[in-house]
Structure 1
Amino acid sequence: MSTLISKLLNPGSRSQELRLIARNLLQLYKENRKNPSKHVVIFLLSLFSSTTVAVIYTLNKVISDIRDKRDSRPLYKRSSSTILKNGARELFIPYKNRQKRVIIQPTEPELYEKDKFKYKNFAKNIKTEEDHDKIFSSKFLNQLIIIWQILIPKVNDKNSIFLITQFFFLILRTWLSLLIAKLDGQIVKDIIGGKFRKFLRDLAYWFLMAVPASYTNSAIKYLVKKLSVNFRTNLTRYVHDMYLDPRMVYYKVMFNDQSIKDIDNFITTDINRFCNSICSLFSNIGKPMIDLVFFAVYLRDNLGTAGITGIFVNYFISAYILKRNTPPFGKLTKEKSALEGEYYNDHLNLITNSEEIAFYNGTNLEKIKINEIYDKMMNHVFKVNRIKVAYNVLEDYILKYTWSALGYLYASIPIFIISVKDDVKKSTEDRNMRQFIVNKRLMLNMADAGSRLMYSIKDISKLTGYTDRVFTLLTVLHQVHDGDFQFGSEDWNENIKGAIQYHYNGLRFEKINVIIPTINGGEGTKLINELDINLKQHESILILGMNGCGKTSIERILAGLWPLYHGLISKPNDDDIIYLPQKAYFSNGTLRDQLIYPMSHSEMLNEGKTDQDLIRILKEVRLEYLLDRDVGLNYLNSIHDWKDVLSGGEKQRVQFARILFKNPKFVVLDEATNAISSDIEAYLFDLLRKKNFAFITLSHRPLLIKYHDYLLEIHQDGNWSLETLGSDAAIISIEKEIKEIEDKLKDVDSQEDRKIQLENLLDGIQPKKLLSDQIAEID
């Protein structure tokens, strides 16, 4: 062999040796043409299957592109979504030079009603055992089984096909590893025996085997990532359909469990980590398990039953030792995720309220809060790292070194125990050498499989933490989504006694109690006692009261944000009511999007409305000058940060524009004109009355009574008074307010004198004494 290598390195003889190698390879091809080796067959089958998969994938992509081009729309149109007749959502996503059509099928309404009982029964049946860190604990398995029905909702789901395909490739990779181990022993035997032709043949087989082996590894990695994406898609869509349900779960969830304040972190980070963890775990456990089975069956013929038994006894002892010394990784992972979510929320709060914090000069306090949670999070990370040190030492010693040494021991059993005759000593030595190489490689592969299986203990512990987080999220969402959701209470069975009647031509409150949602339910803090109102069509009412008396709470109950614990509300359909909250909301988008919110552009066009209608509405609320800030009508398509571009009064007038665009039967105004000048305010209320809107105004300003038909005053003790307003009552109320202001103005002079006296005292100037006091001192 050394002579051959020296010749190959010699430039003079290199061409002759290359021709010799080429002749030998050609001769090997001729010898195997009629009876090809199984390695060649494996290579050809792999190449054929790869080509078949590539052709199918290409054809599917071509058909999909043709369908997309047929259903696509030009790129210059804004991406939008439309609800189809069957309830599916049609999306157009920018893709290359066009927009790709995507159909999202609706979630069955009955699905959540059926699934909620799984979570209710789980909460009832699960014992309060601290087993969330036990491998394959009953709590962990039950949670995983329930979530699994979301990941793979039916047997013939595409994810089932991906799982079966991944299992096939895992078996194929193990089988190829077994063949490569045999080929490795044969190559070593050829090198030591100086059999150059067989060495070249086996080396050629090695390169042929590398093709299906590489393809198999890539396919497994692809399937793991594909499954992870599909699992995350199913789980996220399931969560989104509940979280963004018309029952406004995204709002009500704050009343359920304060431990899930960072729900955004649950939905984004924890779901992603859970899906990646469970898909990786399937590959990390499936491959070692298959390796152990295949290699054990093969080694049993070489090592015997005693050798295989010793190997598995070693595995069980190692697993027991590692399990006894495994830290609570599941609990630590769950705590880490919670701290990361809290740290994220503090930064989000700083971004959301940056202007207010800057005005208050609260930088130092916010810095202390963020540094505090950051230090807490980092201390937890350092704690986890310290815990891992001792465990990693024990783990590496057992899995890397002990198992490798035992692998040599078990691989040498056939050589040291089996005796041979002298006349076949040489052939036996060759066989032993080859067999030892094969056994050694398989033993090392088994040791690697066993070590990866043991390493998976940590992965399983982490998965228990992610599973518990995701299951907690799903449980809370089902509790809030339930029609009998008890605000602030974990009891699924307590009923709310109040009732709401829809499709009523007007508005009627019958003995409703306004109660703050808490864990106490109907026994909580009562803001208003047995309120009675009967408002007919086209009538308006002004609700007056001090801050905190419960005015906005009435709006929350009417909109379904808060529960109605007692009484009856009769109101129009929800689509016929529009609510204007105290803080105007503006989405990311164009001016058109702000005016038609929450409708999309395509939905506006479907209703037969155009930009000319929006221009007319802008003129009606006296905002037509906004169109002159840019280039005419194109300003409707301009994208700005509208909450910063518009002033407070402009924001409130945009809300009135939304009223005119939607044209509802009923309007609820919560301090909707407190940033508007008095002349524009009068104009807007007259506009509402002119268009015959029925509206409720929540305010603390008595001057607004002249625009309403009724006045409801809420007192601090929860009592109330209702009166019908006429012109005389309005005038009397205004005169009363004017008199109160005049009385305050009369006292201005005395207050100014007192102010001067206090300033003199602060400056050390004694006040001048009266003349009578000076005469008394002289006497």
Structure 2
Amino acid sequence: MTVTEVKGKLLKVSDARRRIQQWINYTKRNCGGLRLQGTYIKVYLRELMKWLRKSLPLSYDRRSRAFTISLAVAFGSILCGGSYYFRGTKKRLRSYSAPRPFLRRTRSQTLLASGARIMYISQDKISQEDQDERSVRDSERSKSRKNNTKKVYISKRDGEVFERDKYLFKAVEQSSARHSQIFYSRFLNQMSAIVKILIPSWFDKNVILLSLEVLFLIMRTWLSLFVARLDGQIVRDIIAGRGKRFLGDLAFWFAIAVPASYTNGAIKFLQRRLSLNFRVYLTRYVHDMYLDDRLAFYKLAFDSQSNSSVIKNIDNSIANDVTKFCDAICSVFADIAKPVIDLVFFAVYLRDNLGTLGVIGIFANYFITGYILRKYTPPLGRLASEKSSADGDYYNYLANMGSNSEEIAFYQGTKVERAKVKELYDTLYAKTMQIDQSKFNYTMIEDYILKYTWSALGYVFASIPIVITTLSSGVNLENSNMRDFIVNKRLMLSLADAGSRLMHSIKDISQLTGYTNRIFILLCALHRVHFRRFNYGAYPLNGGEMRYGGGGKEMVGGTIQRNFNGIRLENIDVIIPSKRAGKGAKLIAGLTFQVPPVIQPSLSQANSTQDLDKNFDPNVPLFDSMGASLLILGPNSCGKSSIQRIIAEIWPVYNKNGLLSIPAASNLFCVPQKPYFTRGGTFRDQIIYPMSSDEFFDRGLKDRSLVQILKEVRLDYLVRRHAGWSYMDAVADWKDVLSGGEKQRMNFARILFHKPRFVVMDESTNAISVDMEDYLFQLLAKYRFNFITISQRPGLIKYHDMLLEIGVNGDGTWQLQALGTAEAITSIDNEIDTLKNQLADVDKLQEQRAVLKKKLQVV
């Protein structure tokens, strides 16, 4: 481009600017006869708006103000939402350059070092109404998304909130048991306790979302009232033949549709967002109690008050009932708030047209209708709760079949399982049909009253002012009457629709009552078992008033000493937890032992806590001192496994003079009788359990140390089974992939990885060959572990230093002895004599077998 062409373009631009400036100056000098030359822009705009109000008709002035306010609210909300997302994008971009904070990622959430969380909520499940509204293209697009989740940030929770809420739920639960008050509502009391979880403070973001939803509901009602007036004006323009006014009103109709459509979309979005936030808050509240260090998920089995199906199917309650409750409460709020706002606005407007008596007649009609519908409303809350319970039973049984499919296949139990599944499905089908049948009569009465009776009464009330005006004046003003009738008719239909939705909400409230009761039962049970003085469902035996948590403080009186350099039980009664507490079934009385027998106070704390950051070295012993070992021997059901439960603190010490001394949690590792493997985890996750893979890599640990551990327990062939070390990242259902012996050897691999000073094992080698069993116990001695073995096989005596025999006389007595002494040798000799006597009976059994074979041949 040449210099001449550039200069020509610059001249054209300057000429255009000059012409625009001349036009603005001309407008200032000649705008409606106003002389505004040389005034400030603020004064100019104020004077211009005054001139427009005087020049335009009054109806257009009202419309312009309505349209301006609507657009201002719409664009204001868009601006606020845009600034919010812009700020979030700016923070994310800034985080890329800043150093990343320390965090630990789990499967459903990220736990920050500050205690805050980022939860990932799946959005794959959408309502049937939303599915109908979506087009085929949008549904296919949503199905093609690989990661359809919503990320929600949650701040750190106050640790004392559960202690405070415990007394709140206790008071509501006790008042529900009495309910002798005149004005008492069990539903409202339960809801008042749950709302404190959903909206913890007045400055919470849920309050903002709720306020915005109310604001948009009011705005939608106001726009509906404005559209009703505009509808009557358009009909009047058509009848009067005013073409220009008709086109102007029609153009305004399309203009007002913009904020009206935005308002409807904003209400739906806020309702879904509020439901999602409620679900996040309530789910986190349940998780924090259900899955914390107090082992509420285990103690629920001992809560005698939790006889409800909600606790029996607690997985269904947490996964489904919480979601249904949050959706229902947001839906009911919108279904009640919108009709109430409509009734207020429309009643105020109709009072000027119909008079006070007309409005009173309308509301009298509503009260009569509400009374009739309330009388014929079925107990949908109870039915919905029963259906949810039947659904949970059916789902849990199918899940149990999937978990034990191999065992069922071995037993050939298909017929029995099919009959049981059919029975549970028939129960679910019957509960579902009961709800549908109970709705039939109610729906028929509801449709007759709300759709037809109210429409007819709407025409009657809308015609009253026109008939009265015509009879009083004797003149029929068709244009004015037509406009008033259209406006009144539209408002009456809107009022009838608001009333019908308010009546429909009676049914929704009934269903919400059922969901609220189930959530309240769940939270009350969790608060009981989460209580520090939980007494495992025990009741006072003197008939006194039951205290919160299932009894008084005297129910569990044992003393627990933690951070002890050993395992010590002194005068402990092993009692099965029950309602009778210390008076229940006693398995062992006054049990006393200590491992190791002599505690070394000079042992440093550094030696008692191993450094997991160091990789495994098979050539270096884990501990300086030699480890002690104890074998707990006894028959079935004598209380051997109960000793492990007491050491792990999942069973209480009832007797007051009992003392339990245990090491720190990092120095104690309990191996249960049934090996556990995480579902959907990698092979690495199975070895390092209960450590997470994120913590494993954060500590700088390497897979080569895991491979070395697998070599130590003779499982390294599993790594060679596939593509080398990449097998560590393989995901499978490991409880079905590994054999029984491999599962038990994985427990020994976990012991070598976590390096605890004290190990308690329950039947940990009963599926392993004799030679491998000998090797594994020698491995524990090589690395100098202190271990306690629970078994019923005397052959394990040679691997231990002490022997604790339970049920010597079959009455729960016990005997502790050091192996290598005369008493221990005598005990072993007695065991040998018992085995010889059993072998002597083999000859007799073989003779009986031969006789039976001869009889069969004769037959």
Counterpart amino acid of 2:209?
Answer: F
Q: Distance in 1 between matches of 2:741 and 2:826?
A: 29
1:326 corresponds in structure 2 to 377
Cα distance, 1:731 vs structure 2:
6.0
C-alpha distance in structure 2 between counterparts of 1:64 and 1:458, whole Å: 45
Mapped partners of 1:680, 1:302: distance in 2: 95
Structure 1 residue identity aligned to 2:745: R
Q: 1:627 to 1:34 in 2, by over 3 A?
A: farther
Equivalent positions of 1:84-95 (< 5 A) are: 85-88=113-116
Report the AA paired with residue 107 of structure 1. Answer: R
1:522 is matched with 582
| Partner residue in 1 for 2:552 | 494
3-state SS of paired residue (2:115): coil
Contact 1:79 1:92 in 2 (8 A): no
Q: Give the CA deviation at 1:39.
A: 3.5
SS for the counterpart of 2:691 is coil
How far has the Cα of 1:102 moved from its partner?
7.7
Q: 1:357 deviation in Å?
A: 1.3
Partner AA of 2:580 in structure 1: N
Q: Secondary structure at the residue paired with 1:56?
A: helix
1:89-141 CA deviation, whole Å, 9 max, x = no partner?
A: 578999999x999865432221111110111222223344599xx9x952111
Does the residue aligned with 1:343 lie in a helix, a strand or coil?
Answer: helix
- 1:754 matched residue in structure 2: 848
Q: Match for 1:343: what amino acid?
A: Y
Question: What CA distance in whole angstroms lies between the structure 1 residues aligned with 2:763 and 2:85?
Answer: 60
Among the aligned pairs, what percent are the same residue? 52
Given candidates 217, 220, 240, the residue that maps to 2:287 is: 240
Q: CA deviation at 1:452?
A: 0.4
Q: Deviations over 1:316-344 (max 9, x none)?
A: 11111111221111111111111111111
Q: Which residue of 1 aligns with 2:89?
A: 62
1:489 and 1:91 mapped to 2: Cα distance?
37
Instruction: Report if the CA contact (8 A) 1:227-1:279 is conserved.
Output: yes
**In 1, Cα distance between the equivalents of 2:116 and 2:665?**
22
Which range is displaced more, 533-542 or 369-378?
Answer: 533-542
Check 1:663–1:121 CA distance in 2 against 1; reply closer, same or farther (3 A cut): same
What TM-score do the two structures reach when normalised by structure 2?
0.80
Q: 1:519 is aligned with what amino acid? A: K
Q: Partners of 2:734 and 2:384 in 1: how far apart?
A: 40
Aligned equivalents of 1:722 and 1:593: distance in 2? Answer: 38
Within 5 Å, give how 1:264-303 maps onto structure 2: 264-303=315-354
Q: Residues of 1 paired with 2:343 and 2:819: CA distance?
A: 87
Q: Give the TM-score, by structure 1 length.
A: 0.88
Match of 2:659 among 541, 559, 568: 568
Contact persistence 1:82–1:603 (CA under 8 A): no
Find the residue that maps to 2:157 and give its secondary structure: coil
Distance 1:232-1:102 versus aligned 2 partners, 3 A rule: closer
Deviation at 1:179, TM superposition (A): 0.5
Q: Which amino acid aligns with 2:848?
A: R
State the alpha-carbon separation in 2 of the partners of residues 79 and 142 from structure 1.
36
Q: Separation in 1 of the partners of 2:391 and 2:284?
A: 24
2:628 & 2:505 partners in 1: Cα distance?
Answer: 69
Distance 1:375 1:418 in 2: 64
2:425 alignment counterpart: 374
**Partner residue in 1 for 2:517:** 468
Secondary structure of residue in 2 paired with 1:640: coil
Report the equivalent of 1:361.
Answer: 412
Distance in 2 (CA, whole Å) between partners of 1:364 and 1:251 is 32
Match of 1:306 among 326, 334, 357: 357
1:726 maps to what in 2? 820
SS at match of 1:644: helix
Partner of 1:665: 757
Any unmatched runs of 5+ in structure 2? 1-51, 123-144, 540-545, 600-626
Which residue in 2 is equivalent to 1:546?
635
Alpha carbons 1:302, 1:414 under 8 Å: kept: yes
Give the corresponding residue for 1:635.
727
1:580 to 671, 677, 682: 671
Distance 1:687 1:421, change over 3 A: closer
2: CA distance between counterparts of 1:339 and 1:128? Answer: 29
Change (3 A) 1:362 1:414: same
The alpha carbon displacement at 1:745 in A equals 3.7
Cα drift, residue 563 of structure 1 = 1.7
Code of the aligned partner of 2:167? F
The Cα shift of 1:558 comes to 1.3
TM-superposed deviation, 1:46: 4.0
Q: Deviations over 1:649-676 (max 9, x none)?
A: 1111111111111111210000111111
Q: Tell me the distance in 2 between the aligned counterparts of 1:645 and 1:248.
A: 29
CA shift in 2, pair 1:511/1:729, >3 Å? closer
1:535 corresponds to 2:595: yes
Of residues 227, 235, 238, the one that matches 1:188 is 235
1:738 shift after superposition: 4.7
Structure 1 gap ranges (5+): 1-30, 766-779
Note if 1:112 corresponds to 2:162. Answer: yes
Pair 1:71–1:144, CA change in 2 (3 A)? farther
Report the Cα distance in structure 2 between the residues aligned to 1:407 and 1:91, rounded to whole angstroms.
50
- Is the alpha carbon distance of 1:636 and 1:367 closer, same or farther for their aligned partners in structure 2, counting shifts above 3 Å? same
Cα distance in structure 2, aligned partners of 1:68 and 1:763: 87
| Paired amino acid for 2:160 | E
Distance 1:236 1:489 in 2: 29
Change (3 A) 1:241 1:453: same
Cα distance, 1:760–1:544 mapped onto 2, change above 3 Å: same
What are the superposed Cα offsets for residues 496-533 of structure 1, whole Å, 9 maximum, x if unpaired?
Answer: 11121101111111111111111222211111111111
Q: State the one-letter code of the partner of 2:115.
A: G
For residue 737 of structure 2, what is the aligned residue in structure 1? 645
Q: Does 1:710 align with 2:802?
A: yes
Q: CA RMSD in A?
A: 2.9
2:657 is the alignment partner of 1:607? no
Deviation sequence 1:404-435 (CA, Å, 0-9, x none): 1111111111011124787x936x32111100
- Decide which moves more: 645-654 or 245-254: 645-654
CA contact (8 A) 2:631 2:802 kept: yes
2:789 matched residue in structure 1: 697
Q: Is the 8 A contact 1:43 1:211 kept in 2?
A: no
C-alpha change, 1:89 and 1:32, in structure 2 (3 Å) is closer
Q: Are 2:502 and 1:436 aligned?
A: no
1:692 and 1:442 mapped to 2: Cα distance? 86
Structure 2 vs 1, CA of residues 70 and 354 (structure 1 numbering), >3 Å: closer, same or farther? Answer: farther
Q: Distance in 2 between matches of 1:230 and 1:241?
A: 16
Structure 1 pair 373–101 and aligned structure 2 pair: CA distance change class (3 A): closer
Equivalent of 2:263 in 201, 208, 216? 216
C-alpha distance in structure 1 between counterparts of 2:278 and 2:106, whole Å: 26
Mapped to 2, the partners of 1:277 and 1:421 lie a distance apart of 51
Cα offset, 1:44, TM superposition: 4.8
* 1:7 aligned partner: none
